[in-house]
Amino acid sequence: MATMTRPASPAAAPGADQAPRRRSRLATFWRFCRQNPLGAVGGFVVIVMILMAALADAVTFYDPTRNNFGAMLEPPGADYWLGTDQYGRDLYSRIVYGARTALMVGFVSAFVGGTLGLILGVASAHFGGRLDLALTGVMDVLMAFPLIILALAMVSIFGTGTFNVIMAITIPFIPRCARVVRSSALAVREMPFIDAARACGFGHVRIILRHMVPNVFAPYLVVMTAAVGQAILLESSLSFLGLGVQEPVPAWGLMLRGGAVEYAESAPWVAIYPGIAISLAVFGFNLFGDALRDWLDPKMKI
């Protein structure tokens, strides 16, 4: 846009309004925490979870997949911080390693689903016409389709396992992100700078990538953050139904499937701790996503 010159008004001298804006990143961070205490809590949970997943080997003392029939359904104590399950596996280790599964499924499916949704949403808004109509129609059908049933069908087609679960969760996310991005992109499309870009003779790809995508990035980020939490929840539901991640991979939903209900009374820790892990993780991502939305675009509704 450098070729477009604008008469510089004397009031808008560059130094005048830029000086107070030059805050350090740390200051911005503190401001974010003060304005959104709940968001800061969410961010803290997310960071703890990432650290847990990254340092799983260093912070646990037992192999999360090793059975130990000498220590079945041990209550929480000094040896097993959160107790053991019906196969004598250490619950604390399984929860820490479970963060890896949850985060991987969450991040990958939210990122891939969100990005595909971003591309489809922007393209749909930019080209309009028949393409828009067709894409919106397909997205409407996918939206009306219950999420868990779509995932169920995908898992039945491709089989269970971590990779297939990611795919099964990604597909329902595409229309959800595409819809939000499309509605923002429709507003961006009417902006004068898009006309200007078109007048400059830029191609579709350049207009979309350089001028539209950066302007719909805020909703994209917010939807994606919310999708991570949703993906973790959906993964645990699928695993709980026996349709997701398979034993012996440590996954939170799967831990609730095994003996959690059977032993609920005699060994409540088996049922309680994995559930707390899921809830905290989703809680963290949701709070963080909410704060991100308030911060980036307070008027946005999702």
Partner 1 sequence: MLLYVVKRFLLMIPTLFGAAVLVFLLMRAIPGDACMLRMATGGGSIDPQVLQGCRAELGTDQPMIVQFLIFLKGLVTLDFGKSMWSGRPIMQEVGLRFELSLQVAIMATLTAIALAIPLGTISAVRQNTWIDYVVRAFSIAGVAMPSFWLGILIILGILIASKAIWGTPWMPPITYVPLWVDPMTNLSMLIWPALATGYRYSAVATRMTRSAMLEVLREDYVRTARAKGLFQKLIVRRHALRNALLPVVTVIGIEFAFLMGGLVVTEQVFNLNGLGKLFVESVQNHDYNMTQALVMLVVGIFAITNLFIDILYGWLDPRIRYT
Residues lying near partner 1 in the complex (CB under 8 A): 37-38, 137-138, 140-142, 144-149, 152-153, 156-157, 229, 233, 236-237, 240-241, 253, 256, 260-261, 264-265, 268, 271-272, 274-275, 278-283, 286-287, 290, 301
Q: Smallest gap, in angstroms, from Cβ of residue 153 to partner 1? A: 4
Q: For partner 1, which is the closer residue by CB, 197 or 230?
A: 230
**Cα Rg of the chain (Å, integer):** 24
Q: Smallest gap, in angstroms, from Cβ of residue 183 to partner 1? A: 15
- Taking alpha carbons only, the member of 235, 123, 241 closest to residue 182 is 123
Q: For partner 1, which is the closer residue by CB, 167 or 256?
A: 256
71 residue type, one letter: A
Query: Phi and psi for 90 in degrees, rounded to 5?
Result: -70, 120
Strand segments (E) across 104-170: none
- Taking alpha carbons only, the member of 285, 295, 294 closest to residue 50 is 285
Q: Smallest gap, in angstroms, from Cβ of residue 282 to partner 1? A: 4
Q: For partner 1, which is the closer residue by CB, 147 or 165?
A: 147
Q: Smallest gap, in angstroms, from Cβ of residue 156 to partner 1? A: 5
Q: Tell me which H or E stretch contains 167.
A: helix 162-189
- Taking alpha carbons only, the member of 41, 47, 56 closest to residue 97 is 56
Length of the chain measured in residues: 302
CB 109 within 8 A of CB 166: yes
What residues form DSSP beta bridges with 90? 84
Distance of CA 52 to the CA centre of its chain: 17
Q: Smallest gap, in angstroms, from Cβ of residue 64 to partner 1? A: 20
Q: For partner 1, which is the closer residue by CB, 128 or 146?
A: 146
Q: For partner 1, which is the closer residue by CB, 118 or 278?
A: 278
Q: Smallest gap, in angstroms, from Cβ of residue 236 to partner 1? A: 6
CA distance 40 to 268: 31
Q: Smallest gap, in angstroms, from Cβ of residue 161 to partner 1? A: 15
3-state class (DSSP) for residue 90: strand
Q: For partner 1, which is the closer residue by CB, 148 or 213?
A: 148
Angle between helices 268-296 and 91-127 (to 10 degrees): 30
3-state class (DSSP) for residue 299: coil
CA distance 119 to 132: 12
3-state class (DSSP) for residue 77: coil
CB 246 within 8 A of CB 235: no
Q: For partner 1, which is the closer residue by CB, 13 or 157?
A: 157
Q: Smallest gap, in angstroms, from Cβ of residue 126 to partner 1? A: 23
Q: For partner 1, which is the closer residue by CB, 145 or 295?
A: 145
